Amino acid sequence: MSVAGNTDSPMYVPEENRKIARERAGRHVEMIRDYLEVRDRIPAGFKLWDRFQESKLRILRVLNGTESDWKDYRWHLKHAITDTKILAEIVDLSPREMQDITQTSTQYRWQISPYYASLIDPQNRDCPIFKQSVPTILEYLDTEEIPDPYAIVYNSPAPLITRLYADRLIINVTNICAMFCRHCLRKKDISQADMIYPREDIRAAIDYVAGCPEIRDVLITGGDALALSDDYLDWILAELGKIPHLEIKRLGSRMLATLPQRITPDLCAVLKKHKPIYLNTQFNHPVEINPDSERAVDLLIQAGVLVGNQSVLLKGINSDKNVMKKLVHELLRIRVRPYYIFNCKKLQGIRHFRASIQDGLNIMENLRGYTSGLAVPTFIVTAPEGKGKTPIAPAYLLNINRNGKVLFRTWAGQVCEYEDEIPEQQSAH
Ligand code: SF4
């Protein structure tokens, strides 16, 4: 018998209560109405797949490559686009734009993987892929001087190490990336010759970790950790695996977004040997998420690697609450957990990408409660001078007093008074 008319069923709900529930659900739907109206108009990679395939064929013609080359990440690295004339055969560029790119490249290096170039909308200057990959004169004209936002001189106790916290640290293994993102916070490292750091320096970094029993978590990054060969990565992970107090290894790589072909069965066989491994990547816009990225994530998951996403809040790219909501939904769809949204640092050459902290708060306000908790990342403002990541969230707690009375507001804006327990420390006195 259906639960609808069965008053003995624990799931029985009287019709008048159902009516109240339906009205309530309707009010909640109205709260996301603006998103529902625009969500299908926000460009997304799964829908743009046919256009990407056309671009791929054009790029293969320009670079004289084949379909099988396209599947090979080494071909993409070897044929990374660094020449304005070649770029102009792929994207419609005016003579002025070509001149600007050339001028900006005297200050900042640029490079785009053929794969990432295939995601560019060739005529649209608002294309989020174009903005992240093609240099603009605004970089060159930004002379705000913050030479070392990581304050690396005070945070590197051993070669290649950045240490900002008590129980975890970074080993920087390379400055190579598949693409040099225009908003990169490591612009100054990237703007040098390509370097995979030598074994003796990495050995010294691993020895430092071995000598610090409090370190339980190491992040291998660069540049891009997956710019290393499978063998070199295997060696580093194996050496780290010999350190008894090290509980987890993390990899920092943007290749899921910029060169998903790098995620091969061979690489995954290496990663599978060294669990637990977490990989944090950086998707910044739903256009970057498509069947290629999904295939790459599937391979990683089969190898037991857990994938999280760290977006950078980028003005005019993802600083819109609905675009960010679409992004986190698309991430979950391919089984990537939204982890952080970083604000853009005050670094020379990226000022035009910087959105305000208030913009970030508006995005967070529009996520928490308005969508699955699993889709809600933490908004992080990186404190100056290497003082660490600071989570910033809308204020839900309005007041808390000694007598256990707590005043807060819900995600939907209702103010509630809550009778809490007396805090333990206080009741003991
Ligand atoms: S992949 Fe990361 S490190 Fe490399 S250029 Fe892009 S943001 Fe910078």
DSSP string spanning 207-224? HHHHT-TT--EEEEESS-
186 within ligand 1 shell (Cβ under 6 A): yes
Is the CB of residue 112 less than 8 Å from the CB of residue 179?
Answer: yes
CA of 349 to the centre of ligand 1 (A): 14
Q: What are the extents of the domains in the chain?
A: 3-31, 49-141, 152-391, 397-427
* 3-class state of residue 150 by DSSP: coil
> Which amino acid residue places its CA nearest to atom 8 of ligand 1?
184
pLDDT per residue as tens digits for the range 71-121: 999 999 999 999 999 999 999 999 999 999 999 999 999 999 999 999 999
Amino acid 2: pLDDT: 84
pTM of the full structure: 0.95
* 3-class state of residue 192 by DSSP: coil
259 within ligand 1 shell (Cβ under 6 A): no
In this predicted structure, the answer to whether residue 152 has a pLDDT above a threshold of 80 is no
pLDDT per residue as tens digits for the range 359-417: 999 999 999 999 999 999 999 998 887 788 999 999 999 999 888 899 999 999 999 99
- Residues contacting 11, CB < 8 A, separation 6+: 3
DSSP 61: H
Amino acid 217: pLDDT: 98
CA of 185 to the centre of ligand 1 (A): 8
> Which amino acid residue places its CA nearest to atom 1 of ligand 1?
254
Is the CB of residue 215 less than 8 Å from the CB of residue 245?
Answer: yes
* Position 4 confidence tier, pLDDT thresholds 50, 70, 90: confident
CA distance 428 to 425: 5
pLDDT per residue as tens digits for the range 54-70: 999 999 999 999 999 99
CATH code of the region 152-391: 3.20.20.70
Amino acid 242: pLDDT: 98
CA of 47 to the centre of ligand 1 (A): 26
For tokens 């990679």, the residue is: 45
181 within ligand 1 shell (Cβ under 6 A): yes
Q: In this structure, which long-range contacts are made by residues 370-376, counting pairs with CB atoms below 8 Å and at least 24 apart in sequence?
A: 370/31, 370/32, 370/35, 370/325, 370/411, 371/32, 371/325, 371/328, 371/329, 372/332, 374/332, 374/337, 375/325, 375/328, 375/329, 375/331, 375/332, 375/338, 376/328, 376/338
In this predicted structure, the answer to whether residue 43 has a pLDDT above a threshold of 90 is yes
Amino acid 418: pLDDT: 93
Token output for 289: 């998420």
190 within ligand 1 shell (Cβ under 6 A): yes
Amino acid 345: pLDDT: 84
